[in-house]
Structure 1
Amino acid sequence: MPEAGEVAARVAERLGTMRGAPVSVESARQLPAGASRATYAATLVDAAGVPEPIIIRAVPAAEDDGGLGAEAEVLRAAADAGVPVPEILDVGLGDDSVLGFPYLAMNFIGGESIPRRILRDDTYAAARGRFVEQCGGILARVHRIDATQTPGLDELVDPVEALHALFPREFDAMPAGLVLATQWLVANPPPSSPGSCVVHGDFRLGNLLVDADGVAAVLDWELVHIGDPVEDLGWLCAKAWRFGGATPVAGMGERASLLDAYAEVAGWRPTEEALRWWELYATVKWGLICAVQANRHLDGIERSVELAAIGRRSAEQEFDALLDLGVVSPEVVPDPLGVEATVPDEEPHGSPSSFELLDALAGFLRSDSVTAEMSPQVRFHTRVAGNVVDVVRRQVLLGATHAAESAQRLAALGVADQRALCDALRSGELDGTDEKVRAAIAADVRARLLVANPKYFAVPHP
């Protein structure tokens, strides 16, 4: 990624030229945890010494404008509709980009975006109390955005077919739990909404700035499109964005409260049936996006331990889909790493075993001597790396047993492997409503989740 100081200096020079007065850089840093984009925070200073904090969002690896052109148009239209959004200061997309890749420069809005802080810190207690009502009203205003101000947005007509079009490689290779969910979505379409509108596409914790009073700004409009308004409501309620919270709306409230608040501004109330359909749709979509992110790493487009780790999170989405379909139930499952276990024989390699070496590596990555002086971004990726090592440790312990048990289950269904299982489901050769088929799929999903994240079995699923 480009250095923050250089990025800020070039944008400052550009703003100075636009304003006809010099602008300098007081400080600049890259913000952590961006999987596909780079985000920089900088403080600029004008000729009078007045500080101006700004945010720069960029897509260094983009082959086109990285979606930032549409995002800039929508941000301006959203402001006109009364949605709290940052002000656009500069847009660099093509030859006019002073960075050599697409970027947006926006004014800084104070607030917190890290979900776990919003959900737990006392600072945001009052904000949590009004979050659901605020989001209902904000989304109603998002859906009032004048689409003529945002020409060229893609329209999502057939939601499931859109997933295939957006993620063809990942859709064709989706695991069996998501295949079952997709088939259910197709067979049980949701009640119709009054009409299509501008849809944010990624309205959730992590993309909202929250201060002590509530939602201060809606960020990250890169997935904006025309579609069904309930899509945004369902995405906000998706379990992936509750971050362990026990209630369905971002872990901070109930569905009925969200729908009531939305209706107060929008003038109509979506049904809970439609909302739950879009929640399951969100689960499938996020499962596919996990695979997209992993493929960016595997294909060498953007080598990243974070992207690699996200690939295994699709097991969480499979389990959530099976929960929605009534195939499994939440439960407490011990982490295999905390249970006395027999390490597989590794002759002739001797001691320490591969499992013991991985254990030493995990301990090293988590030690204070390693993490104490790290920047927040490097500390985040080091924590992810430690989690990846744990995944591999569990697979060392359980992989051979899981493989043998899965092969036995699949043979009983008359298929050779996971790919053949999914092909048989799609062709109708295997019936996805058959209890034996569902039991075999559930067992494989449990095996994948046990290795990837055993704590997830017990996460509430209201």
Structure 2
Amino acid sequence: MQDNTSHATDPGVVGPRIAERLGSMSGRAYSVADIRVLPAGASRTTYALTITDDESGESTAVIVRAAPAASPGEGGLAAEGQVLRAAFAAGVPVPEVLDLSDTADDPGVLGFPYAVMSFVDGESIPRRILRDEAYAPARAGFARQAGAILARIHAMDSAATGLTAVGDPLEALRTQMTREYDHAPAGLVLAIDWLSRNRPETSGETVVHGDFRLGNLLIQPDGVAAVLDWELAHLGDPIEDLGWLCAKAWRFGVAEPVAGMGSRADLLDGYAEVAGRRPTEATLHWWELYATVKWGLICGKQAARYLDGTERSMELAAIGRRSAEQEFDVLLALGLASPLSVPDPLAEEQDDLTSEDPHLAPTALDLLESVTAYLTDEVATDPGVSGHVRFHTRVANNVLATVRRQLVLGERQAAASRKRLSDIGVSGSAELADALRDGTLSATDPAVQAVVTAEVIDRLTVANPRHLSQPDC
């Protein structure tokens, strides 16, 4: 008799136990054909398991998600499984939950929480989905298909999910990201002010996926195969999901507004075909702007994890500067800015920066450029380097480029900023944002809006000048 209480995570133990469990549920005898551990978060272990029916020889692939460090009932898998089962019943393309053990009185066959789900093949990397020719048919029909899928999500039986409501969306931002909301940069403050003054009528309260975008979808050449990652699901206004999908951050530089693959009209038409009602363009616009503000606050929250010492991650540090992209995007959406082409200062000669007395050559810029060249020419081109290291090499190059641009432009930008902020009676970026928050400065004053726009453009010229030329659609 197997010891179900042992916390054995070895694939050689997990595979046979899951195969025996699935066999007992179906009245069949299964053998393990293959099992491997997939990359996952620190608190979860994911196994890809192939089992074979001993009688028919038919093979079946399944995914086992486990929480080895959690006690039964505390793995978070029961809630996720409940939502997935409700989604499956509603006709949403999701993996089918085949077995689940995450209750206080049931250690299951592994001794710790786990869920077994059907395997769904597909691509989740946005760059491949948006560019590879194999996915051209999927791209052509994506917006309408996404609308239909979201309508099915919003028709789910909310009582069967166990989800709770988030309440007022702007108040949810304040309570979920209090520090970031209370210290949001000026561009986001302008957008929050506009959102508070232009609230649309509610579209009801339904299940909301909460993170419906490329990266959380499995795409096959003919379309969406599965909706993944339901950890942020909640009850709320259904148009939140549509606005999140249309946010510029999830277009990855492609012009089409719906995840870089389609039009808003097709998204709304696909939604209406299933839901029986078509959200208005104005309501979608509000939620799209809301999504951009939310992502800007999330960027700040992620950077805070680095700044607080919670996680010493270069990627988290880098993303703090990305909030300038969201500031510029909300200014575009509000008609306060237009796309503009700004030359990358690193492409220009810096004759005035050749001397840094008392330091001799090479200059600080020269030293940073040498590190960039090493990462680009040696690390990134090394065939033995893993994909993980390649990705972080690109992040490191972006960080170095930001620092180099700030060295080139910092003094000039600081002088210009002091002048324009002084003209409207404030002395710094934080004071500008505070004055907008408390009403000392009017968010609708064209002179104030012009100053905010200039500040954001300067920040983005340092952080990512290419983003300034990307149009809003």
Q: TM-score normalized by structure 1?
A: 0.89
**Structure 1, unaligned runs of 5 or more:** none
Q: Does the CA contact (< 8 Å) of 2:83 and 2:161 recur in 1?
A: yes
Question: Quick one: which amino acid aligns to residue 344 of structure 2?
Answer: D
- Counterpart-to-counterpart distance in 2, 1:103 and 1:394: 48
- Counterpart-to-counterpart distance in 2, 1:302 and 1:101: 27
Q: Which SS does the other structure have where 2:349 is aligned? A: coil
Q: Which residue of 2 aligns with 1:80?
A: 89
User: Which of 190, 193, 197 is the aligned partner of 2:200?
Assistant: 190
Q: Which deviates more from structure 2 when the two are superposed, residues 292-301 or residues 154-163? A: 292-301
**Per-residue Cα deviation, 1:165-211 (whole angstroms, up to 9, x for no partner):** 11111111110000000000000001331x21000111111111110
**Per-residue Cα deviation, 1:212-263 (whole angstroms, up to 9, x for no partner):** 1100001111110101111111111111111112121111111111111111
Question: Quick one: which amino acid aligns to residue 332 of structure 2?
Answer: L
**Per-residue Cα deviation, 1:13-60 (whole angstroms, up to 9, x for no partner):** 6525634667575433427xx8x9878563445695976544466789
- Counterpart-to-counterpart distance in 2, 1:278 and 1:10: 47
**Per-residue Cα deviation, 1:48-90 (whole angstroms, up to 9, x for no partner):** 5976544466789999968654322211110000000112355
Q: Which residue of 2 aligns with 1:110?
A: 121
State yes or no: 1:387 paired with 2:393: no
Q: Does the CA contact (< 8 Å) of 1:286 and 1:317 recur in 2?
A: yes
State yes or no: 1:141 paired with 2:152: yes
Q: Does the CA contact (< 8 Å) of 1:37 and 1:57 recur in 2?
A: no
User: Which of 248, 253, 256 is the aligned partner of 2:262?
Assistant: 253
Q: Which residue of 2 aligns with 1:416?
A: 427
Matches within 5 A, 1:22-421: 23=32, 26-30=35-39, 40=46, 42-44=48-50, 53-55=61-63, 68-89=77-98, 105-151=116-162, 153-193=163-203, 195-341=204-350, 342-343=352-353, 345-370=355-380, 371-421=382-432
Q: Does the CA contact (< 8 Å) of 2:19 and 2:51 recur in 1?
A: no
- Counterpart-to-counterpart distance in 1, 2:108 and 2:398: 38
Residues 87/413 of structure 1: CA separation in 2 closer, same or farther (3 Å cut) = same
Residues 369/420 of structure 1: CA separation in 2 closer, same or farther (3 Å cut) = closer
How many angstroms does 1:158 deviate by?
1.1
Residues 381/47 of structure 1: CA separation in 2 closer, same or farther (3 Å cut) = farther
Larger Rg: 2
Question: Quick one: which amino acid aligns to residue 374 of structure 2?
Answer: F
**Per-residue Cα deviation, 1:347-381 (whole angstroms, up to 9, x for no partner):** 22322222111111111112255542122222212
User: Which of 10, 13, 18 is the aligned partner of 1:15?
Assistant: 18
- Counterpart-to-counterpart distance in 1, 2:177 and 2:472: 27
Q: Which residue of 1 aligns with 2:5?
A: none
Question: Quick one: which amino acid aligns to residue 204 of structure 1?
Answer: R
Q: Does the CA contact (< 8 Å) of 2:142 and 2:224 recur in 1?
A: yes
**Per-residue Cα deviation, 1:275-313 (whole angstroms, up to 9, x for no partner):** 000000000000011111222233333332222222211
- Counterpart-to-counterpart distance in 2, 1:299 and 1:100: 36
- Counterpart-to-counterpart distance in 1, 2:155 and 2:410: 51
Residues 17/395 of structure 1: CA separation in 2 closer, same or farther (3 Å cut) = farther
For these two proteins, the number of residue pairs brought into alignment is 453
Question: Quick one: which amino acid aligns to residue 175 of structure 2?
Answer: A
Q: Which SS does the other structure have where 2:332 is aligned? A: helix
Question: Quick one: which amino acid aligns to residue 251 of structure 2?
Answer: R
Q: Does the CA contact (< 8 Å) of 2:217 and 2:226 recur in 1?
A: yes
- Counterpart-to-counterpart distance in 2, 1:93 and 1:126: 40
Q: Does the CA contact (< 8 Å) of 2:354 and 2:361 recur in 1?
A: no
Q: Does the CA contact (< 8 Å) of 1:8 and 1:42 recur in 2?
A: no
Q: Which SS does the other structure have where 2:353 is aligned? A: coil
Q: Which deviates more from structure 2 when the two are superposed, residues 114-123 or residues 20-29? A: 20-29
- Counterpart-to-counterpart distance in 1, 2:167 and 2:229: 22
- Counterpart-to-counterpart distance in 1, 2:114 and 2:185: 35
Q: Does the CA contact (< 8 Å) of 1:39 and 1:55 recur in 2?
A: no
Q: Does the CA contact (< 8 Å) of 1:60 and 1:102 recur in 2?
A: yes
Question: Quick one: which amino acid aligns to residue 48 of structure 2?
Answer: A
- Counterpart-to-counterpart distance in 1, 2:450 and 2:66: 45
- Counterpart-to-counterpart distance in 2, 1:395 and 1:62: 45
Question: Quick one: which amino acid aligns to residue 316 of structure 1?
Answer: E
Q: Does the CA contact (< 8 Å) of 1:9 and 1:25 recur in 2?
A: no
- Counterpart-to-counterpart distance in 1, 2:120 and 2:396: 31
- Counterpart-to-counterpart distance in 2, 1:394 and 1:357: 14
- Counterpart-to-counterpart distance in 1, 2:390 and 2:110: 27
- Counterpart-to-counterpart distance in 2, 1:332 and 1:158: 38
Q: Which SS does the other structure have where 1:220 is aligned? A: coil
- Taking every aligned residue pair, what percent have the same amino acid on both sides? 56
Residues 41/12 of structure 1: CA separation in 2 closer, same or farther (3 Å cut) = closer
Q: Does the CA contact (< 8 Å) of 1:94 and 1:101 recur in 2?
A: no
Question: Quick one: which amino acid aligns to residue 451 of structure 2?
Answer: A
